[in-house]
Each structure stands twice: as structure tokens, then as C-alpha cells.
Amino acid sequence: MTHGGLMTGTFEYLRRPLLANITAGMKALVITDTAHDPRVWQVVMATLTELGADGVLALFDPRPADYYDPPEPVCAAMKTVDVNILLASTGMLHCPANHAALAAGVPVICMDGGMTLEMFQSGAVTEDQRQMAVRQHHVASRIFGADARTCRVTSRHGCDFTYSVEGRIFIPKLPGDDFVPYKINNLGRNKKIPFNRFLYPNGEFNVPPVEGTANGRLVIDLCMHQIGRLGSPIELFIEQGRIRRIEGGADAHTLRRYLERYGDENAYICPAEASVGINSKALIRGVQREDKNILGSMHFGLGTNVDVGGTIWSNIHMDGVILEPTLYVDGEMRIEDGRFLRDVEAA
């Protein structure tokens, strides 16, 4: 991966999560690799110095796939600091080392997945955090509802599948006077496991479908973890919550081979996550970290889902994005071709 060498444009948005969470004297571990845009970690390290934090940079060769651990000395260090900052070219949010650090009480600011400096200057990072919190509440309560039972998703690319969300809709509160933008919060839905984190860019409402209930044809049309922007849709044929067949062109071939090489038995559980994008500023980048936040899009995960309220552990987690889905909840259309059919804006 190549990047421009000049440090140009604003650093304001990249700095905001650091300004909200880092104080003087904190031990902060910046975790990155040689394939990531080095300008990003340079701005982060300079900001940590400015804030009086004790920043340490862990730089290593890229991991072979998303959610592989960093080198062992880094894994050990992640449990001994005050905060971890993920900036790797591969996703590390769900890697075992980060789960161990979270379990040890170390929060994380996650900005990994190949975001360049330019991506931290426009698009999803510029969205108003309070307004997204408002949308998140209303998507939960008005698009789904606490008593939602069954979802059906279709698209112009031939997607048509159903799954149960009974007992899985968590409705967050509207932001109050104490709302602090960019602040690390416990976003996990599994009360046995602490998930104190801030994902950036952000902008999604997470739903973990009931495991084993999905059936039909899930067609991913925009982008996917590890693959990036898709050249052709990937068709996943699902029976009783498991992928039975993967069809399509070159990208489907890549996914099949990826799962064979890096997946485990639980990597074929789908959807482990079925979430809705709520960020009105998110752009199509071909980078899953931003694309899945696009307003009105939906993304569907394979593998691990314990952090969004499910029960599945896997050695991978992969999200695939549908750009303009149509969503029915208990038989009633709530999203049509990526447009919300109920108001999700007013506080």
C-alpha cells in the first residue's frame, strides 16, 4: 500500500477521539503496521505528546488477515496500558489480544482497517456525533422496535432472506445533557464481557440475529472485509443460520478461499450481525470501516458476535455491506432501497 508523503489538510477530526479520552500521564499504546498510512500514527503520536500522555508506538509487519493478533510482545503490552489505539491495516477489534485487553479493563479506540489520513479529513468522520446518537435511538425504536420478531431483507441484486431478532433489539437512550462526543463507552451487549471502546469512524445500529434462524439468499453488493470494494456481488446461500454455498464472480472466489484458509466452523454462521448504517456523511470508499456506516445501508457479519449481544466466538469477523437494502420488520416495510420510511432525525 502506498500513501502520499505530505502532511496536508486538517488534523482536527483525527484528533477528536484523542482529545476526548486521553489525559496527561496516561499510558497509551498505538498499534500499527508497516502497510498502514504512517501519517496517521504520526499525527496520533504527536497529539499524545501534546496531551502529556506516555505514548508508545508498536510497529510491525502486517498480519496475514483481519483479526489476527499482533506479535506476542504487543499482545502482552496491550493488557498493561491505560488505553489501546488500533491503527493497523488489518482489523484488530475482534482479535483475541484485544478481547483479552478489554477483559483486563483496558479500553480501546479503534481506527484501524486501512483508513488513510485523507479519510480522516472528510466523509464519515465529519458527522455530528449527537445527531447519530439520536438516529441510533430512533432506528432501534421506530425502524425495529423492542418487540420486533422477524426481519426480511431484499435488494435489487436478488437478496431475499429472513432471520429472527426476537429479544435482540437493544434500544439506547436519547443523548442527554451529559452526552460527550467521541467518548469511550461500553457499547457491548454482553454484560459478562466489558467492551469499553470507541470506533471511528462510527455510525451504525448493531443487531445480533438469533443464531440458527436465518434462511435465504444474502447478496453483498458494495464491499467486504479483506476484499474491499466489490467488482461483482457475492451471493451467500444460508440455511438455518449457516452459509451452505457461496456463488458469484472473482470476489466470491476470494471469499471462499479466505474462509477455507482463515475461518473456523463458526466463521460460517451468518448473519452473526445485521446492522444499519446511520452516518449521513459517510462516503463510498471501498474501505469497510467507512462504507458500513452509510446512511440506510445494512451490513451483515460472519463469525464473532459476542460484542453486539450474540453468543458466537470465532477466529474471524467479516462484514459485508448492502448499499440500498429494503428491510421488512414483522411484515411491514421500514427501509426501502436504503431510505428510512419512518423519521429517525427528530430528537
103 three-class SS: helix
Q: Give the pLDDT score at 237.
A: 98
- Whether residue 21 lies inside any domain: the answer is yes
The beta-strand segments (E) located in 17-157 are 27-33, 54-60, 83-86, 108-110, 150-154
Q: Are residues 205 and 65 in the same domain?
A: no
Q: State yes or no: pLDDT of 2 exceeds 60.
A: no
Q: Give the pLDDT score at 194.
A: 65
Q: Please say whether the beta carbons of 136 and 121 come within 8 A.
A: no
Q: Are residues 88 and 228 in the same domain?
A: no
Spatial neighbors of 223 by CB under 8 A, at least 6 apart, are: 229, 230, 286, 287, 288, 291, 292, 320, 321
The secondary structure of residue 44, as a DSSP letter, is H
Q: Please say whether the beta carbons of 187 and 203 come within 8 A.
A: no
Q: Give the pLDDT score at 64.
A: 86
- Phi then psi for residue 185, to 5 deg, are -135, 165
pLDDT tens figures, 192-244: 566 799 999 999 999 999 999 999 999 999 999 889 999 999 999 999 999 99
The residue range of the domain holding 40 is 12-121
Q: Give the pLDDT score at 4.
A: 60
Domain count, the chain: 2
Instruction: State the Cα–Cα distance between residues 299 and 249, nearest whole angstrom.
Output: 20
Instruction: State the Cα–Cα distance between residues 289 and 267, nearest whole angstrom.
Output: 20
- Please report how many Cα atoms fall inside a 13 Å half-sphere around the Cα of residue 64, on the Cβ side: 6
pLDDT tens figures, 53-70: 999 999 999 998 888 899
Q: Are residues 230 and 293 in the same domain?
A: yes
Sign of the torsion angle spanned by Cα atoms 308, 309, 310, 312:
positive
pLDDT tens figures, 301-313: 998 888 777 888 8
- Whether residue 193 lies inside any domain: the answer is no
Q: Are residues 66 and 135 in the same domain?
A: no
In the chain, the amino acid numbered 226 is Q
Q: Are residues 19 and 53 in the same domain?
A: yes
Q: Average per-residue pLDDT in the chain?
A: 94
Q: Give the pLDDT score at 302.
A: 93
Which percentage of the chain shows pLDDT scores above 70?
Answer: 97
pTM of the model: 0.94
Q: Are residues 209 and 289 in the same domain?
A: yes
Domain boundary residue among 93, 121, 149? Answer: 121
Q: State yes or no: pLDDT of 1 exceeds 50.
A: no
Listed residue (130, 133, 270) closest to 214, CA to CA = 270
Cell of 141: 425504536
Q: Are residues 96 and 235 in the same domain?
A: no
